[in-house]
Amino acid sequence: MRYIILFCLFPVALFAQNPLPVYNSSMFTTSGNCATCHTGSGTVLTQNGVDISPVTHWRSTMMANASKDPLWQAVVSEETHRFPGMKDEIESICTKCHAPMGNTQAKKDGLTTYTLAQMRSDPLGKDGVSCTTCHQIDPQNLGSQSSYNGGYKIDTTRIIYGPYQNPFAHQWSIL
């Protein structure tokens, strides 16, 4: 009987989602803050009740899980074992794309590198490629070769870029 109960509870535990982190820094905010308005709490549903909110769809993507990806962490670990004298530099280069908020904030705060150990204890790093990473990328060089491989530029004025020229006028027109 005990095994039947455990067997029935296993899928619930397997598919339960952890709460999104809620954290603010001088440059970024984590996905938990964005979810306050951009989640499927009954406001971003189709007529059939299907959740189409940005946060719900983002949660299961490689972007959301970029810093948690075990294959990526294994590859970084292999590289740092092959080149132990360059460990911090390798990890800092890799976290520029896999933990961009943490990496960018660390550099703004004066650190020269951003390691996996720092990322694992940092809410910004653990949030992967989160909302305010992409939505604060300065569009000036976006899409040019200079923006590839972590060459993006974050707008430090904290302007949030999106698909609408005037989002405040648009927000009520979709209701």
The pLDDT value given to residue 6: 52
The residues with which 24 forms a beta bridge, in sequence order, are: 29
Whole-number pLDDT of residue 69:
97
Residue 113 in tokens: 């590198």
> Residue 50 and residue 63: Cα distance in Å, rounded?
22
Three-point CA angle 137, 142, 148, nearest 5°: 100
Q: Are 125 and 95 in contact (CB under 8 A)?
A: yes
Residue ranges of alpha helices (H) inside the chain are: 2-15, 31-38, 54-59, 70-82, 87-98, 100-108, 116-120, 123-126, 131-134, 167-170
Provide the residue-wise pLDDT of the chain in tens; the chain has 175 residues.
Answer: 565 655 555 554 444 578 888 999 999 999 998 888 777 565 677 888 888 888 888 988 999 999 999 999 999 999 999 999 999 999 999 999 999 999 999 999 999 999 999 999 999 999 999 999 999 998 888 888 988 888 999 988 888 887 777 766 555 444 4
Residue ranges of domains in the chain? 50-130, 135-175
HSE-CB for 82 with a 13 A CA cutoff: 8
